Structure 1
Amino acid sequence: MEIESIRTLIVASPLADLASCRGELVAIQCVRGLLDAREMRVAARLDELAAAEPSVFPEDELAKAAKTSLKKASKVRARQRAADDVPQLADALASGDTTGERVDAVANATAGLSPAEKARVAARGDELARAAATLPDHQFRRLLEQIVRQARVDDGLAKLQRQKNATRLRWWTDDDGMLRLDGRFDPVAGVELTGRIRNQVERLFHRTQPDGCPTDPLERQHFLQAHALLALCDGRGASGAPDVTVLIDAQSLLTGWHERTVLDTGTGVLGLPIETVRRWACCGTVTPVVVGADGVRLILGRETRLANRAQRRTLRALYRTCALCDTPFEFTEAHHVHWSTHGGPTDIDNLLPLCRRHHTLAHEGGWHLALDADRTLTITTPGGEVTIHGPPRARAA
């Protein structure tokens, strides 16, 4: 690659007016795609050389050349694998019609899929490549989510578990003495964490802002989010569940994924299992906005599905802990045994205090709970194991 000739061509491009600036931005995107494609080709060639020379370590070569980390260099390899799975994406990159970021999105969305599931995604490669070249980012990601969801044979719970297992957090001190954080969280934990932080920003800084707050809007938001996180860590933050709004269509909430599912948290997170949304709605973690197939709003709010104070006091009199373990009652959530999303009433006879772990198992874990009139609880696991828990011993509140 002749760097000087490329540099000369770039610098020589005139930027006389708005039209020329717009044209240059289009050209930059095209060149960026060409460079991404070339980087992938280099990575593929390094793999070939490594097979013949064990001393060649492709990620190390990529990291050294880009002056970056091995983790970031591994993204190029993941991008290459995604382009191998969907060759039309590689063609779109090579022609400058899209960028490596779009291929990265495909790599992330298809991670953890089986070979058969990836083959179903690849079968729609032409559609993906056209979308990567023409659609705005949010529309492309929504189509990608739909394609991957339709290719999966499960409801996304297996991928969520893999993502939970990949949760990481690290920190270090930079050259200025500032503590830096870098974390990876599964979509469910991520939505809840960012929901708490956003709530804290609103609660603490709606009227007044701390000293030193930047004037730049983006920097100010980052500044306030950092202070909101500190407030949560030192106990100044509000307790309770985060308030996250999720847009979902009525059919999906009741029966699960379908071809025209609408599920949007407004955070950019894709592929949430429906069972997670049902659990959120059950315990009031989210404000569901439920829409019909025609897009007409059906339900806004959650008041009718949440146990009121009197009902929680009654449950507190019956149960001092989670109905299934020793977690104190104060850390439980009122679970609808017959789910509210399936028409279950918010009556005391249909409510059960469960800790977060067992509440998750009742929704995402596939456990089936049956509550008799005397509050004898029968649990059937996905494997068919049945356990029976006798009624609680009522005590004075």
Structure 2
Amino acid sequence: MHALTRSGLRQPEVFPVFYGPTPTDSIRNASNTYSLINSVEFHPRENLFCAAFTTVNKLILMKVTQQGKLKTVQVIGNPTAALAEPQHAVFSQDGNKIIAVNWDNATFTIYERLPDGLYASKPVAVIPFPPELKDYKPHGIEISPSGEFLAVAFGVTTRHKKGLALFKYHHAESRLQLLNLIEEAQLPGIPKGIAFSPDESCLLVTFSNINSISVYDLDWAAGAIKVAPRQVFQGALTGLSRPEDIKISAEGDHLIVSNSGANTVTCYHFDKSSNSIGEETPYYILDNPNARIRFPHGISLSADGSVLAITQFGPLEEKDDGNIVFGHRTPRRQAKINIYRREHTRPVFSTGWKSTLSSLLHRLTR
């Protein structure tokens, strides 16, 4: 099917992407103590993902079977792994390396794939943050579509320094070179999630404390992020509520955001020709009770777009400064990862999204 544009030319129609409404499988934290599961990232070619179990210092690789079930493939852990509360981990674009960013000691650790298909438990490189970033705490990271650049969102609470950083990734040498940093004074809020546009000319960033997404142009001649955003996506109708992670579909037509403040995942149309988010209202909301999510955080789409993975913290208290509260008494199994299958039409059981949006609008406009 094609849609008629104002110019009279017919363009391919963009079909909505739906996931759910219920998870096909979930896996809970199996460690002896509670752990935040901050991120999940799919391999660029396989139905395999890497999840960062931050507070128990583990990277856990899982695959999605043909039956839509999760199976643990490998656990990368200390002392060999040199992890220090890994906040987020991503695959290189060829899938042969994993890059993790560590909260506690301000380092990147890189792990190579071995001939047997597993990843080395000892990093091939441990890269300290450059001096400009020594006081920053990382949140989201993203590898560019070309695999040549890495973007990092530094922003966790009001008490921590905030920034956006762009790195050149030298794959062969497993080396990272800081190109540009946008500092806190130039940002509108606390950046959390970050994603490259499909053409690698923009960055999309969620700001959790102001419920917004900003789209920033990249000036590749200068190797810099332009400070003034080209679009600010914000408002009661967006359904954004403490947005965390952000992902663009493989087709480049859809944007998916996790909202820890509303226990939802919202989906939007994305115009990849203009690098802009379309209509203000999400075309679909993955929500409870069917979705079974509480404090959703990291999200990722499989390479073929057939599976959506969501990490969640469970019912944790959040302080006014954005800090979250957990400890040795927090039930360890409330942290988990859910996976959802892609549907070709709106799931017939997911009728709660309208009431979710209505309730959210009521809260935001009181």
Q: Output the TM-score relative to the length of structure 2.
A: 0.28
Whose strand fraction is larger, Structure 1's or Structure 2's? 2
Whose helix fraction is larger, Structure 1's or Structure 2's? 1
Larger Rg: 1
